[in-house]
């Protein structure tokens, strides 16, 4: 029997998934066979809120917004099926997340998502995004539907709270600090953070630095309070921090490891590759996210490192990252005939 090909406008999309303004990042699903694939697109307009959270003359679509747009089209591969329509879904893992080009206001991001498996409430698949026919972003992802997964989770062995990873992250920083001779009380609040990053409201997700050694590491916190703009829509009955915002918090922590160096303060950056992104817990209003970012390598404008984050010592988001300082990198581009 031939599968029926479906399409959805915004109303149809919202009947399948719970994302709403200002957290809905897909405009149309043009082609979809439930439990197989979905194709759709997102248009970008300068009128959108996230373009205004960075001091630049050349606004661009944040990479985590691309992740979220790809995720939301991927959601349609299984939330469009009659058995799952309208369920909540939560980000779990992303891997090989790559960004190939700058996406600007006026661009259209065409997204193709394929579902490789959907069992026990866990969906795995691949997603690619294109602008004007050229690959713009891609990733592998795992999304969990708690309502289905929960039924199976009860039969799995219970795991106690394990703070080993948190203590490991603390010891990495303590090792760095043993090398440091100066030990004055650190005052590094929002003013100093803004001296380093170009980010501003509503796209600045760091509150206070606890510890920092520029060029080596940073330990920084972000408080989540219901007064933030994303909680009322994500979600009205169940407010929690969207996965892509959790990732962006950690990305900004990583950027601070090298943008705190005097010569690079307030430089324009782009993240290029994210590996082994794990979103391990729900974060709700009243939680404080504590992030440990380390810079493993920093040369000629390319920065590689890792971020681990915790809420009350329990693991939250973690990933490995490669980011670049755009102006520095441009100095080393090979000559071509194009």
Partner 1 sequence: MNNLEKYKTVFCESFSINESDLEGDLEYNSIEAWDSVGHMGMIADLEDKFDVMLDTDDIIDFSSYKTGIKILKKYDIEVEL
Taking the least distance from each CB to partner 1, the nearer of 172 and 329 is 329
CA distance 190 to 258: 17
Angle at 19 between CA 14 and CA 22, to 5 degrees: 115
- Active-site residue flag, 229: no
Scanning 114-122, 187-195, 283-291, 323-331 for contacts with partner 1 by CB under 8 A, the matching segment is: 323-331
What CA dihedral angle connects 227, 66, 238 and 18, to 10 degrees? 130
Q: Which of 135, 152, 190, 226 is in the footprint of partner 1 by CB under 8 A?
A: 135
Which region among 41-49, 220-228, 280-288, 300-308 touches partner 1 (by CB under 8 A)? 300-308
Backbone angles phi, psi at 239, to 5 degrees: -65, 125
Give, rounded to a whole angstrom, the gap between the first and last alpha carbons of the chain: 50
Residue 55 vs residues 269, 312, 330: alpha-carbon distances, Å: 12, 33, 20
**Residue 272: CB minimum distance to partner 1, A:** 5
Of 193 and 274, which has the nearer Cβ to partner 1? 274
Please identify which residue in 45, 57, 182, 336 interacts with partner 1, judged by CB under 8 A. 336
Give the nearest distance from C-beta 321 to partner 1 in angstroms.
12
Q: Taking the complex as a whole, how short is the minimal distance between the CB of residue 244 and partner 1, in angstroms?
A: 21
| Contact status: 133 vs partner 1 (CB under 8 A) | no
Minimum distance from CB of 73 to partner 1 (Å)? 21
**Binding region for partner 1 (CB under 8 A) out of 61-69, 147-155, 297-305, 309-317:** 297-305
Q: Which of 120, 154, 229, 234 is catalytic?
A: 234
Q: Are 131 and 107 in contact (CB under 8 A)?
A: yes
Query: What is the smallest separation between the CB atom of 60 and partner 1, expressed in angstroms?
Result: 15
Residue among 141, 301, 305, 317 that touches partner 1 (CB under 8 A):
301
Q: Write the CB contacts of 289 (distance below 8 Å, at least 6 apart in sequence).
A: 221, 222, 224, 246, 249, 283, 309, 310, 311, 316
Residues forming beta bridges with residue 309, ordered by sequence position: 291
Letters for 256-295 (x = contact with partner 1 by CB under 8 A, - = none) are ----------------xx----------------------
CB neighbour list of residue 92: distance below 8 Å, 6 or more residues apart: 122, 142, 143, 144, 278, 279
Cα separation, 69 vs 62, whole angstroms? 11
219 near 227, Cβ under 8 Å? no
The answer to the question of residue 58 lying near partner 1 (CB under 8 A) is: no
Asked if residue 32 lies in contact with residue 26, where contact means CB atoms within 8 angstroms, the answer is no
**Residue 227 binds to partner 1 (criterion: CB under 8 A):** no
Active site residues: 234
**Interacting residues with partner 1 (CB under 8 A):** 100, 135, 272-273, 297, 299-302, 322, 324, 329-336, 338
């Amino acid at each position: 029997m031939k599968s029926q090909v479906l399409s959805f406008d915004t109303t149809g999309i919202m009947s399948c998934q719970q994302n709403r303004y200002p957290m809905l990042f897909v405009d149309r699903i043009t082609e979809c066979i439930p439990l197989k694939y979905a194709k759709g697109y997102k248009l970008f307009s300068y009128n959108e809120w996230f373009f205004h959270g960075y001091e630049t003359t050349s606004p661009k679509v944040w990479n985590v917004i691309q992740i979220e747009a790809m995720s939301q089209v991927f959601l349609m591969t299984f939330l469009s099926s009659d058995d799952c329509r309208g369920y909540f879904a939560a980000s779990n893992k992303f891997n090989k997340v790559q960004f190939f080009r700058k996406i600007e206001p006026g661009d259209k991001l065409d997204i193709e998502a394929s579902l490789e498996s959907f069992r026990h409430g866990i969906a795995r698949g691949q997603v690619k995004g294109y602008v004007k026919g050229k690959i713009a972003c891609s990733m592998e992802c795992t999304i969990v539907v708690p309502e289905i997964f929960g039924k199976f989770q009860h039969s799995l062995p219970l795991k106690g709270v394990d703070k080993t990873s948190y203590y490991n992250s603390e010891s990495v920083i303590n090792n760095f600090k043993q090398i440091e001779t100066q030990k004055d009380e650190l005052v590094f609040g929002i003013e100093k953070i803004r001296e380093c990053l170009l980010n501003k409201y509503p796209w600045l997700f760091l509150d206070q630095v606890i510890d920092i050694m520029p060029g080596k590491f940073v330990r920084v916190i972000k408080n989540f309070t219901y007064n933030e703009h994303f909680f009322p829509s994500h979600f009205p009955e169940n407010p929690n921090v969207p996965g892509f915002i959790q990732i962006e918090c950690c990305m900004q922590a990583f950027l601070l490891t090298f943008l705190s160096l005097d010569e690079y303060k307030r430089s324009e950056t782009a993240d290029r590759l994210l590996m082994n992104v794990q979103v391990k817990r729900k974060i709700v209003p009243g939680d404080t996210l504590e992030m440990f970012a380390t810079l493993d390598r920093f040369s000629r404008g390319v920065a590689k490192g890792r971020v681990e984050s915790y809420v009350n010592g329990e693991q939250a988001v973690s990933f490995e990252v490669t980011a670049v300082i755009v102006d520095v990198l441009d100095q080393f581009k090979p000559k071509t005939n194009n």
